[in-house]
Amino acid sequence: MSRPRTAVLISGRGSNMAALLAAAADPSYPTEIGLVLSNRADAAGLALAAAAGVPVAVVESRGRGRAEFEAAMHARLEAHGIGLIALAGFMRVLTEAYTRQWEGRMINIHPSLLPAFPGLDTHARALAGGLRLHGCTVHFVTAGVDEGPIIAQCAVPILPGDDEAALAARVLAEEHRLYPAALAWLASGRVRLEAGRVVATGLDWAEASLANPAVALPLAGRVRPV
């Protein structure tokens, strides 16, 4: 049985794309990466994908209207038999009509614990806000930027002395773990979108909590079952 084909859309270096390519190289992974497409010819991730033997395409967004760009991109996706889309640093806002066309089949990864800090500069904003936890989110793509239903999240601590680069590196390491898992859940049918909500089946749910600074409660301070 053939695996469904996923297109990864990038605009830059493609580090999350590389994580997806590595996961999909395993024949047991439930989807294959059938295309890496960029809206920028100078995206560094294109060379990485080509070196891995994955078809690549460029559909320049500069100088094109949104509808024209999306029509050209869609033609490339159809030509490669694409059934799922994973945005990985794709810096182009898609129209409501296009996101509806791919509803439930297009996902994105964002470097914050949404709904906190949609948009850009998430790490700087987390530090400026004095947060103790930060992280990343995989969500379905809808018309609103970074507003789609959440599939999965991973939290990391913000440590004393962190700067934007240190925090970004800590979050990125978790992005590379979370995104391949979330795409696999979607491709295998364990995660789906129904009436605007995420339905998940057959997944393991985390029970441990993360506190920062760490909290060690004495036995007397814990709630005991009645």
Catalytic annotation, residues: 110
CA 159/CA 190 separation, integer angstroms: 34
The answer to whether the beta carbons of residues 135 and 93 sit under 8 Å apart is no
Read off the amino acid at residue 206: A
Is the backbone peptide bond immediately before 27 cis, with ω within 30 degrees of 0?
Answer: no
Read off the amino acid at residue 67: A
Which residues lie across from 109 on neighbouring strands? Answer: 138
Three-state secondary structure call for residue 77: helix
* Length of the chain (residues): 226
Q: What backbone phi and psi angles, to 5 degrees, belong to 6?
A: -110, 140
CA 86/CA 71 separation, integer angstroms: 18
Which contacts (CB < 8 Å, 24+ apart) does range 66-69 have? 66/94, 66/95, 67/95, 69/39
